[in-house]
Amino acid sequence: MSLVEGKAAVGMRAPTVLTLGGAAFIADPAGALFREADRLLVVADLHLEKGSSYARRGVLLPPYDTRTTLQRLARLVARYAPHAVLALGDSFHDGDAHGRLDVDDRAAIADLQRGRDWVWVTGNHDPAVPPGAGGTVAETLVLGGVTFRHEPGGTEAPEVAAHLHPVAKVRLRGRAVRRRCFVASERRCVLPALGAYAGGLNVRHGAFQPLFPDGLTAHLLGEERLYSIAGPLLVPD
């Protein structure tokens, strides 16, 4: 057709920066944190092989979740060229998940790990990461004055954590939009899940309140940027 073509004007926006105890992180709309100072990329809750975990129980979900998740991760690595990647736990959906990885997916992980530090932080789904997964394994990690762990709620501040798979829902003029999001205050940040089949927990759920007693801001993942929203515009599911 000969309609006048033109991309909707999207102004070049500065990336959303979250500041935690003096450390600045770029929050990427794909759902990752990046710290320029030490070129550290942080991702959370990959839940690799969740699809095949369902398949074992007779629910034959499309077996492309691992591939999708790793492609997301690969795009982030290409964008930031990090010196180190931190996977904040529940990287593998269950104890056998690593063993079920497809040859190609295994190779994709090895490619991503090449030439940089790689840390698997353990989570409740993957308390023991097999040695074959490459990289190193840690329970918690303190880097540049920030504590990184899977489950939020440590006493050390500032803290970057995962586990809850936060999503936020915004309702306006009769329409509701539900998206994965970062949840942040000045002393804590919870990352959204990166896994293709990872579900979400609404930020209005009681689990978030004790972690953010002074209120929280949700940074919802958009196509090209984050949307930062707090208060009554965030509705429960």
Q: Which positions lie near other proteins, rule CB under 8 A? A: 1-6, 8, 52, 55-56, 58-65, 67-68, 102, 164-165, 170-177, 179, 196-202, 204-205, 220, 222-223, 227-233, 236-237
Q: Kindly tell me which of 83 and 171 has the beta carbon lying closer to other proteins.
A: 171
Shortest reach from residue 6's CB to other proteins, in Å: 5
Shortest reach from residue 55's CB to other proteins, in Å: 4
Q: Kindly tell me which of 5 and 210 has the beta carbon lying closer to other proteins.
A: 5
Six token digits for residue 229? 């929203």
Q: For 77, phi and psi rounded to 5 degrees?
A: -65, -40
* N-terminal to C-terminal alpha carbon distance within the chain: 41
Q: Kindly tell me which of 35 and 47 has the beta carbon lying closer to other proteins.
A: 47
Q: Kindly tell me which of 95 and 144 has the beta carbon lying closer to other proteins.
A: 95
Q: Kindly tell me which of 38 and 237 has the beta carbon lying closer to other proteins.
A: 237
On the CB side of 86, CA atoms within 13 Å amount to 26
Residue 66 gets the label, from left (phi > 0), alpha (psi -120 to 50) or beta, of alpha
Q: In sequence order, what are the residues at sequence separation of 6 or more whose Cβ sits closer than 8 angstroms to the Cβ of residue 105?
A: 48, 66, 67, 70
Kindly tell me the sign of the dihedral angle through the C-alpha atoms of 19, 21, 24, 29. negative
Six token digits for residue 90? 């529940």
Q: Return d(Cα 153, Cα 159) in angstroms, integer.
A: 8
Shortest reach from residue 152's CB to other proteins, in Å: 14
Q: Kindly tell me which of 22 and 172 has the beta carbon lying closer to other proteins.
A: 172
Shortest reach from residue 54's CB to other proteins, in Å: 9
Three-class secondary structure of residue 135 per DSSP: coil
- Rg of the chain taking only CA atoms, in angstroms: 18
Shortest reach from residue 78's CB to other proteins, in Å: 18
Shortest reach from residue 124's CB to other proteins, in Å: 11
Is the Cβ–Cβ distance between 68 and 31 less than 8 Å?
no
Six token digits for residue 203? 């930020």
